[in-house]
Amino acid sequence: MTTNGIRHVFVYGTLRPALATAEPGMLITSLQQDGPATVRGLLFDLGDYPGLVDGPGSVHGDLLLVETTAQLASLDAYEECDHDCPLYRRETTTARRPDGQRVTVWVYRYCRSLENAVPIPSGDYLRYRTGGGGKAAPGR
């Protein structure tokens, strides 16, 4: 596994610094925060965590700097990318910073059924969890 020269991971759920507690908090402790950004897609509440899928909307999140393959491997394990039926798939995409600058990033896309998922129209899981449209649930 390599970082392929990609230095950022876009986090939109429980790995966002403002939401990261317990295991997620420990995972991102060594990662430098590099500001807010958005990516194209749709966001869903999956119960204890969100899932980003392809779509026409915007998903809000944060950029974290990834400096080693070990850091990336830890995030992959947390996101369950390495199972026979993975929960998420790590892919590259383009994120946009508030100033319009585009950055190539890693992102974790949800790859299971959305049958019981609840759409998050704002595309902002932080706002959704902190009073912008749903009750906070512990978990991932």
The yes-or-no answer on residue 23 being catalytic is no
Rounded to whole angstroms, how far apart are CA atoms 11 and 101?
Answer: 17
First to last CA, the chain: 24
Rounded to whole angstroms, how far apart are CA atoms 44 and 12?
Answer: 11
Rounded to whole angstroms, how far apart are CA atoms 85 and 124?
Answer: 26
Q: Which of 23, 67, 79, 91 is catalytic?
A: 79
Rounded to whole angstroms, how far apart are CA atoms 140 and 96?
Answer: 25
The residues that are catalytic are 79
